[in-house]
């Protein structure tokens, strides 16, 4: 053992005093770390260090495991809003778990009182405090057999059919557990539609997969889906057309042959590199970026295009055009997307209303005809889809004739 960590040669008094000193240092260093993380997060210092996010920075540069990183990032962001948290953590009045639990409930009006009430309380005591101040609805009752086998011991784990009325717990919706170097146990919840697709795929595959082997079905489906995504992302194909480039009037358009070459050259990874030589590890949310901006004459050639994650693409634009300029551009783009979404929703609603107005079935049902009679009568209007509703209803009513005081379906030739 390293002598630094040996304690047998020290007296109990010295060890106890050392423990108190080290505990105080740990609280102080935790508060200092939160202050560091708050500043790194606010000013995005992780971007020049070649990390796409705060989480990636904490895991890669600070070597924090994921849950520890998430807890400290959340606490740092909360402390940035309410600086009194730094002193409370350094003094030992609040622990990180308490800060994270209090975070959703802290406002300018409640922060001082809540932080004071939570001082020196354990996690369980803070939970009770929040339950008293912010009561929640009762949880859904759920009972499971105590003898249910664990995931790896269930009988027929790949069986698709689910008994009607089965209730699953809402926690751990997705769980991936390594079983070996070549296999994983996956547990998740799927919709009824996805369940029907899965069973239909099993039926179509037939004897090509083992009965109930949904892992093979999902593997084959993912292979097809990944190929589809690769084709859309970087024009992946087994038969590239060399020397052919689709013309486009958009200067930002990147030809398929360029996208394929750039993706292969950059290895499907962000190419941003920090000053100390660290390359951004991001391999998701990648974008094709012009090395020389289009506004400055950049062209979509293999040498003129690179892969950047979205965070570093935005970072590069801010370094070139300024953060304030890019902030206004993002606001304008968000407003344009919201306006387009609102227009599309309004158009869908108007189309649905027009369809309802032209649909004679509800009107016939309102007159007392059965659903079957109304549908048969509506078939008479298929030849006049653009006619006014009144005319469509009149034509539909010709399917019926009056016998005494009762309206009955017509039986003449051509009637419904």
Q: What is the pLDDT of residues 122-150, one digit of tens each?
A: 999 999 999 999 987 765 555 555 544 44
Q: Which of 331, 391, 327 is nearest to 363 (CA)?
A: 391
User: How far is 105 from 135, CA to CA, in rounded Å?
Assistant: 12
pLDDT at position 268: 94
pLDDT at position 397: 86
- 8 Å CB contact between 86 and 115: no
* Through-space distance between the first and last CA atoms of the chain, rounded to whole angstroms: 95
Burial zone of 77 (CB within 10 Å; 0-12 exposed, 13-18 middle, 19+ buried) = middle
Q: Which of 181, 175, 139, 142 is nearest to 157 (CA)?
A: 175
Longest dimension (CA), the chain: 114
Give residue limits of the domains in the chain.
7-133, 173-233, 256-321, 325-352, 359-416
pLDDT at position 247: 58
CA angle 28, 31, 35 (to 5 degrees): 135
Angle between helices 389-397 and 323-358 (to 10 degrees): 30
The fold of the 359-416 domain, in CATH, is Helicase, Ruva Protein; domain 3 (1.10.8)
pLDDT means over runs of 10, the chain (416 residues): 83 93 95 97 95 96 95 97 96 96 94 95 93 77 51 42 39 70 85 89 84 85 91 82 62 90 94 95 93 88 94 91 86 91 89 72 83 83 79 83 51 41
User: How far is 147 from 328, CA to CA, in rounded Å?
Assistant: 59
User: How far is 149 from 106, CA to CA, in rounded Å?
Assistant: 42
- Supply the mean pLDDT for the chain: 83
Kindly report, residue by residue over 142-188, the tens digit of the pLDDT. 555 554 444 444 444 344 443 333 333 434 457 788 888 788 888 88
User: How far is 57 from 280, CA to CA, in rounded Å?
Assistant: 10
Kindly report, residue by residue over 362-399, the tens digit of the pLDDT. 888 888 888 888 888 888 887 787 788 888 888 888 87
């Amino acid at each position: 053992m390293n002598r630094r960590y040996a304690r047998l040669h020290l007296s109990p008094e010295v060890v106890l005093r050392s423990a108190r000193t080290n505990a105080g240092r740990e609280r102080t260093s935790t508060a200092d770390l939160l202050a560091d993380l708050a500043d790194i997060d606010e000013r995005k210092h992780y971007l020049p260090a070649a990390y796409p996010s705060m989480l990636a920075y904490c895991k890669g540069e600070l070597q924090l495991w994921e849950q520890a990183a998430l807890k400290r990032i959340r606490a740092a962001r909360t402390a940035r809003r309410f600086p009194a948290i730094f002193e409370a953590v350094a003094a030992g009045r609040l622990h990180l778990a308490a800060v994270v639990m209090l975070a959703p409930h802290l406002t300018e009006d409640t922060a001082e009182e809540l932080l004071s009430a939570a001082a020196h309380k354990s996690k369980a005591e803070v939970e009770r405090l929040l339950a008293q101040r912010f009561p929640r609805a009762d949880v859904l009752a759920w009972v499971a057999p105590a003898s249910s086998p664990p995931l790896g011991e269930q009988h027929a784990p790949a069986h698709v059919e689910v008994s009607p009325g089965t209730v699953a717990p809402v926690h751990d919706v997705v769980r991936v557990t390594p079983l070996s170097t070549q296999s994983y146990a996956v547990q998740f919840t799927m919709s009824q539609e996805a369940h029907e697709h899965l069973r239909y795929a099993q039926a179509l595959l037939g004897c090509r997969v083992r009965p109930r082997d949904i892992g093979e079905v999902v593997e084959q489906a993912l292979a097809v889906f990944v190929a589809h995504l690769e084709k859309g992302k970087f024009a992946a194909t087994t038969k590239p057309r060399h020397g052919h480039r689709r013309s486009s009037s958009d200067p930002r358009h990147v030809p398929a042959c360029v996208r394929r070459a750039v993706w292969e050259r950059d290895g499907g990874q962000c190419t941003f590199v920090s000053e100390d030589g660290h390359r951004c590890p991001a391999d998701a949310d990648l974008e094709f970026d012009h090395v020389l901006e289009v506004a400055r004459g950049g062209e979509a050639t293999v040498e003129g295009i690179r892969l950047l994650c979205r965070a570093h693409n935005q970072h590069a634009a801010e370094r070139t055009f300024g953060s304030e300029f890019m902030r206004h551009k993002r606001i304008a783009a968000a407003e344009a997307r919201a306006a387009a979404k609102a227009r599309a929703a309004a158009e869908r609603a108007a189309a649905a209303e027009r369809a309802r107005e032209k649909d004679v079935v509800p009107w016939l049902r309102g007159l007392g005809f059965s659903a079957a009679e109304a549908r048969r009568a509506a078939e008479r209007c298929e030849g006049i889809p653009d006619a006014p509703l009144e005319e469509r209803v009149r034509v539909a009513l010709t399917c019926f004739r009056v016998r005494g005081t009762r309206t009955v379906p017509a039986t003449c030739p051509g009637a419904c």
